[in-house]
Chain A
Amino acid sequence: MIWLGGVAAFWAAALALNVWLSNSAWRRTWAVRLAVPAIFGLTILVVWEGLVRGLGVPSVILPPPTAIGARIASSTSILWVDFVQTFVKGALSGYVMGCSAAVLTAIVIDRSPFLKQGLLPVGNFIAALPIIGTAPILVMWFGFDWQSKAAVVVAMVFFPVLVNTVQGLAASDPMQRDLMRTWSASYGQTLLKLRLPAAMPFIFNGLKIATTLALIGAIVAEFFGSPIRGMGFRISTEVGRLALDMVWAEIAVAALAGSAFYGLVALAERAVTFWHPSQRGE
């Protein structure tokens, strides 16, 4: 009862604080902009903890956040091994291979309008399909280790990046291209100095979409077979043993890795496309 009462009181207080903060005079300052979502997240954690303890929910259904935190602290070595296996070996290598292949393919396709007209609709179509379904096939072809996961990631990230890059290469205006021609710039010069830079906002859009897809691909591919390490392997086996605190710990690591990966790509985007209106800010 004490837990439930405390939860209700904390929730009401946090809600009141957030409403007050977001209507206060400082609502445009960065501190408040950061504090409000942080308070909201904290409230969810506290309510979760309080409800689990107050209602006596068994930990095989939903472990409280403190138990998950303790599990993360006590099994960092396992989490690190899994992280290296799934993220660094599987997702990251596949991401690099898939994205560079897609950008290179886009540059090749771009020379032929006929191919572009044919490949764009097909690429758009394939990008909407459940490509994750190829995971069992690729696991069969490339074996259980990280190579098959990287292959799944390549298949998943290829088409979104391809479609975005092809669109991006068409983004420079005819006027700018004509200007390059008046300077008698070669194809390579036009590509490097005008069209690739102009395509960067589009390419980064594809790259950002691909970060999430890469991590999903690497984790789900492990459900179809993996060596005895890796985030997807750990999730599926620990779920089987009903050790849900470990599962939540892996999910926390995956969430953290996913946001950090996305954040890094977004930072690279800021550095590369500093000239674009969306990055200049007000």
Chain B
Amino acid sequence: MRSVLPILTVVMAILALWYGAAVMLNRQWTLDQAARAGQDLTIAQIVADTMAQDRPKLPAPHQVGAELWNTTGAMVLEGRAFTRRSLIWHGWVTLSATLVGFGIGTGLGILLAVGIVHNRAMDMSVMPWAIASQTIPILAIAPMIIVVLNSVGISGLLPKAIISAYLSFFPVVVGMVAGLRSPDRMQLDLLRTYSASPSQAFWKLRWPSSMPYLFTSLKVGMAASLVGAIVGELPTGAVRGLGARLLAGSYYGQTVQIWSALFAAAILAATLVGIIGLIQRITLKRMGMAR
């Protein structure tokens, strides 16, 4: 709790910098408009105008906040929460693809990790590739997956979910292999003296001791899934989803819309990672592993 004050200070400093930058970046347009109309503006008028432009270079924080409210809370109050103009609807489209992909990716990742830990041939052949794949910009194949699946008649949620799954797959594999190998030799030997079967050793020792690693890689995988879903929405031509809002905003120069979509994505990511963190804290506490 003692770090609340420093964090608040930093956040306030960022907001102050943001307002300053908004005035600096938007000033030129205001001055041009005034010169065209033949007016002289006072400093206060210039500042007021830079905060309230329609298509500012950098929207002020309160403009982004207002846009976020208008496209979420206000639409709920009007009962139009799931219309095309509502960020809740776009966010839901992205979120559902993210969650489906995350589920598939982590499920397969854990299965592969179990295989790798129990089978030496698999370990030696797959593991180097799994590690190498982390250095590759996998996201580059996103447009291709979307278009190819579209051409064979699969569109909508599934292609995005596949990209999300692919992105969350490898962090989970690498993390879980490390986690399932984290018990000491000594502990494994102890189980052998109890003549425990491999499956008992797995469920009673390897699986529980891999939990901290699992949650760490789930957090990484969740963030990656969301990025995957957002990028997966770009090549389909800006139809639905947060990525589509970003792309549409950049086509039409709607900076306020871009920033609000960006913040919606950020809030979504923070919430998802926060939920995993919460589950992690509860689980590890009940297992007696909390630090």
Residue ranges of A at the interface with B (Cβ–Cβ < 8 Å): 15, 18-19, 21-23, 27, 32-33, 36-37, 39-41, 60-62, 114-119, 121-122, 125, 128-130, 132-137, 139-141, 211-212, 215-216, 219-220, 223-225, 231-232, 235-236, 239-240, 242, 244, 247-248, 250-251, 254-255, 258-259, 261-263
Contact = CB atoms under 8 A, between A and B. Distances in A.
A270 to B, nearest CB: 16
Interface stretch (B68-76, B84-92, B147-155): B147-155
Interface residues of B, number: 58
B76 to A, nearest CB: 23
Contacts of A250: 140
Contacts of A22: 120-121, 123-125
Contacts of A15: 121
Contacts of A121: 3, 7
Interface of B: 2-3, 5-11, 14, 57, 120-121, 123-129, 132, 134-137, 139-141, 143-144, 147-148, 151-152, 219, 223, 226-227, 230-231, 234-235, 242, 246-247, 249-250, 253, 255, 258-259, 261-262, 265-266, 269-270, 273
Of the listed residues B125, B141, B242, B255, the one surrounded by the most CB atoms of chain A closer than 10 A to its CB is B125
A19 B141 CA distance: 31
19 contacts: A18-B121, A22-B123, A22-B125, A36-B124, A36-B125, A40-B129, A61-B151, A118-B5, A119-B10, A129-B223, A129-B266, A129-B270, A132-B227, A132-B230, A133-B262, A136-B250, A140-B253, A223-B234, A239-B235
Contact of A140 (B8, B10, B14, B255): B255
B136 A23 contact: no
Contact of B230 (A33, A60, A122, A130): A130
A125 B273 CA distance: 10
A247 B147 CA distance: 12
A224 B143 contact: no
A138 B259 CA distance: 11
B159 to A, nearest CB: 13
A254 B148 contact: no
Contact of A40 (B126, B250, B255): B126
Nearest to B230: A130
A136 B247 contact: yes
B2 to A, nearest CB: 8
A116 to B, nearest CB: 8
Contacts of B255: 137, 140
B246 A136 contact: yes
Nearest to A109: B10
Contacts of B253: 140
A130 B266 contact: yes
A268 B234 CA distance: 36
Contact of B223 (A128, A140, A262): A128
A219 B121 contact: no
Contacts of A215: 137
B269 A130 contact: yes
B254 to A, nearest CB: 10
Given A130-B226, A239-B143, 9 more contacts: A60-B148, A114-B9, A122-B7, A129-B269, A130-B223, A136-B246, A215-B137, A242-B151, A259-B132
A115 B6 contact: yes
Contacts of B10: 115, 118-119, 122
A118 B9 CA distance: 7
B31 to A, nearest CB: 18
B140 A254 contact: yes
Given A18-B125, A137-B258, A137-B262, A118 B137 contact: no
B168 to A, nearest CB: 13
Contacts of A130: 223, 226-227, 230, 265-266, 269
A19 B246 CA distance: 49
Contact of A251 (B125, B140, B227, B261): B140
B136 A239 contact: no
